[in-house]
Structure 1
Amino acid sequence: MFMVRSSAQYANMVDVIHTTLSEQSSRRHTVEPIPETMRASVLLAKGHIEMQRRPVPHPGPGDVLVKVSSVGICGSDTHYLREGRIGHYVVTEPLILGHEAAGTIVATGKGVAEARIGERVSIEPQRPDPNTVETRRGDYNLCPHMRFYGTPPIDGALCEYVTIGSEFAHVVPDAMSDDAAALCEPLSVAIAAARKGGITAGSHVLVAGAGPIGIATIQVAAAFGATSLTVTDLDAGRRDLALTFGATTALDPRETSLTGLHADVFIDASGAPAAITSGIEAVRPGGTVVLVGMGAETMELPVQTIQNRELNLTGVFRYAHTWPTAIELAASGRLDLDRMVTATFPLEEAEAALNADRTPGTIKAVVRL
């Protein structure tokens, strides 16, 4: 295993969940012969997507080969398409985007039981270096040598087959759809944010932004026991949708001041400087601020408010140890990932999927293979 802090407990939890789901999952898909090449949607340069034939990858030691069934489109994917970069991650060579993925294991590498062939899995799209300090202490999401799907120069999942470390291919129950299995990825971001915020029974939570991460965060906060869930968004349609996913109040921040809200936890899923500033002002003394949304690289913050109220200010970078919880929450019916899907596309129309966020009413676009 690749972590030291609570490694035995976490490994045991993963083994138990994997065993239980494997026992529950009596259905095994017929595995077809694996071709030599596959279809792939490739970002050649900023704004330029092309369908190509690529060699099917071979699973290395400890890996599994997954035939991809569903890929969710994330805001980071659209950033790479339109801007060619996110911060210091720059697209300099052809890149396959996509990191929200699910599929079926069709082959295993050395050291992985062939019994895993046929399992339906949700992919945790990370390959941390097992020997870094961050990984060994359990914070593998902070590994400085991380190889993450769809992040230059690592190819992602907008293709027919991918490989991943076997421990990052999480078995899902038969009742879970392929789309929901793929959306365990953004759900994991929300779980990481809720954990950082310390959301618990009776928490008063403020969420800025009712996009995919905001909607997932609302659902997770409710599942964690939050009793007051206020969401802000500039779009009336998204505010109305947030109410159907568990928000107790939905506000237009241009019309309603958040001062005096006294939230226990503020989670920003917008990345907008104005939303972050007003959200911080709405947090009670000793409360917590969690920054999740991708925004400007730098911004001004109300430092005196943070100091005088002794606010806990932190960020979230991806996730660690979240998939077992994500699968359990989704499978239990405590939240609804399928209803977040508002548009679907075939692989050949991946570029349209990447631009679907420009269509009013779109929450989550999914590419189905």
Structure 2
Amino acid sequence: MTTTAQGPIPTSMRASVLLEQGVIEMQERPVPTPGDGEVLVRVGSVGVCGSDVHYYKHGRIGDMVVTAPIVLGHEVSGTVVGVGRGVSEDRVGDRVALDPQVPCRQCRQCKTGRSNLCPFMEFYATPPFDGTFCDYVTAPADQAFTVPDSLSDESAALLEPLSVGLWAAHKADVGPGDQVLIAGAGPIGAMCAQAVRARGVTDVVVTDFVDSRRERITSFGASRSLHPVADAAEIAEIRADAFIDCSGATPAVVSGIRSTRGGGTVVLVGLGAEEMPLPVQLIATREINVTGVFRYVDTWPRGIALTTSGAVHLDDMVTARYPLEQVEDALNADSDPLSMKAVVVVNPSQD
């Protein structure tokens, strides 16, 4: 393999490591070497995802369990500083956003366009694979998407959660003239609202219990926001073309299904209880399509185009920034109801 760089690449780097549930430690680790078809990326910014928080606070998400020290973080941007064999040295210096998925590319799911469901997936910060709260990472060259200089490092990193919203909007299959109901006005709810707006939907109703979130969500795609209890009667009258749940709360899911028109679509994004009772007779008699979202497929080019054009706003979602040494504070930022999106600035831009 060959490695090139603009300036020397150090042999060691900083890494913020989750040792066990609730315990973070800064460590010095070797800088990884890019393999065949890979690039070495100097990490710029990393967004904090709810999954990172869950691993930190609970040590697991469903059957994905932290059993050994792991580096968290998967919403990442940076700069290519080295390449492996088979990758053009012209890529050195590219500012990139990384798709954190590494599917096998050989199984039936991969071969039929469902690579996000690859049973052999390697995904940043999902046990046992390390993530990006560190100075350098490697990635397949075709998963490192070049971003224009008009996009900040933070916007480039947040293309990952935007991808969740874009995939949810794709699964909802909505467009101009449709109405969309979204439960949850947090970061993913805001990404979904912006994503359906980008598909031409103008009637986007978002529900949330938190006053500050309901007030803020109208800046991120919602045409109006409602309180799940105080506005329950109004919500019950809605017959949305699609309902997208970003809360994972059983009452929200059931309410949303009841507010979906016949032949409409329910998209489950939030992960709550492993099992929940659903109004199956209503689902059957209304012929409601119920589906889920697990990651995404081929969303980065679309996300870059939408963000560059101004159709989607990501920088405005950032409410707190932390250096790498304060990852633990970043993981606790969601305790503030005014927080929307925390970002870890690993290596500030040189610009």
Instruction: Compute the TM-score of the two structures, normalised by the length of structure 1.
Output: 0.91
Q: Distance in 2 between matches of 1:51 and 1:296?
A: 33
Alignment partner, residue 128 of structure 1 = 103
Q: Which AA in structure 1 matches 2:184?
A: G
Q: Distance in 2 between matches of 1:238 and 1:119?
A: 36
Secondary structure of residue in 2 paired with 1:246: coil
**1:316 aligned to 2:290?**
no
Alignment partner, residue 19 of structure 1 = none
Q: Distance in 2 between matches of 1:358 and 1:121?
A: 30
Q: Distance in 2 between matches of 1:150 and 1:117?
A: 25
- Please report how far the alpha carbon of residue 227 of structure 1 lies from its aligned counterpart in structure 2 after TM superposition: 1.8
**1:157 aligned to 2:153?**
no
Secondary structure of residue in 2 paired with 1:71: strand
Alignment partner, residue 199 of structure 2 = 224
- Structure 1 unmatched runs, 5+: 1-29
Secondary structure of residue in 2 paired with 1:219: helix
Q: What are the within-5 Å matches in structure 2 for residues 1-369 of structure 1?
A: 31-257=6-232, 258-369=235-346
Q: Distance in 2 between matches of 1:360 and 1:242?
A: 13
Q: Distance in 1 between matches of 2:281 and 2:6?
A: 60
Percent identity for Structure 1 against Structure 2? 54
Q: Distance in 1 between matches of 2:345 and 2:95?
A: 15
- Please report how far the alpha carbon of residue 31 of structure 1 lies from its aligned counterpart in structure 2 after TM superposition: 2.6
- Please report how far the alpha carbon of residue 260 of structure 1 lies from its aligned counterpart in structure 2 after TM superposition: 2.0
Calculate the aligned-residue CA RMSD, in Å.
0.8
Q: Distance in 2 between matches of 1:141 and 1:134?
A: 8
Cα shift readout 1:323-366 (whole Å, capped 9, x = no counterpart): 11010001110111000000000000000001100012001000
Q: Distance in 1 between matches of 2:155 and 2:176?
A: 26
Q: Distance in 1 between matches of 2:149 and 2:168?
A: 28
Secondary structure of residue in 2 paired with 1:306: helix
Q: Distance in 2 between matches of 1:102 and 1:206?
A: 31
Q: Distance in 2 between matches of 1:246 and 1:139?
A: 28
Secondary structure of residue in 2 paired with 1:344: strand
Q: Which AA in structure 2 matches 1:250?
A: S
Residues 210 and 337 in structure 2, CA contact (< 8 A), matched pair in contact too: no
Q: Distance in 1 between matches of 2:8 and 2:279?
A: 59
Residues 81 and 92 in structure 2, CA contact (< 8 A), matched pair in contact too: yes
Q: Distance in 1 between matches of 2:202 and 2:75?
A: 29
- Please report how far the alpha carbon of residue 275 of structure 1 lies from its aligned counterpart in structure 2 after TM superposition: 0.5
Cα shift readout 1:299-341 (whole Å, capped 9, x = no counterpart): 1111111101000000000001111101000111011100000
Residues 267 and 293 in structure 2, CA contact (< 8 A), matched pair in contact too: yes
Q: Distance in 2 between matches of 1:319 and 1:99?
A: 14
- Structure 2 unmatched runs, 5+: 347-351
Misfit runs of 4+, over 4 Å: none
- Please report how far the alpha carbon of residue 245 of structure 1 lies from its aligned counterpart in structure 2 after TM superposition: 1.6
Q: Which AA in structure 1 matches 2:262?
A: P
Q: Distance in 2 between matches of 1:227 and 1:327?
A: 22
- Please report how far the alpha carbon of residue 246 of structure 1 lies from its aligned counterpart in structure 2 after TM superposition: 2.3
- Please report how far the alpha carbon of residue 174 of structure 1 lies from its aligned counterpart in structure 2 after TM superposition: 0.5
Q: Distance in 1 between matches of 2:116 and 2:220?
A: 28
Instruction: Compute the TM-score of the two structures, normalised by the length of structure 2.
Output: 0.96
Secondary structure of residue in 2 paired with 1:277: helix
Q: Which AA in structure 1 matches 2:296?
A: Y
Secondary structure of residue in 1 paired with 2:97: strand
Residues 169 and 192 in structure 2, CA contact (< 8 A), matched pair in contact too: yes
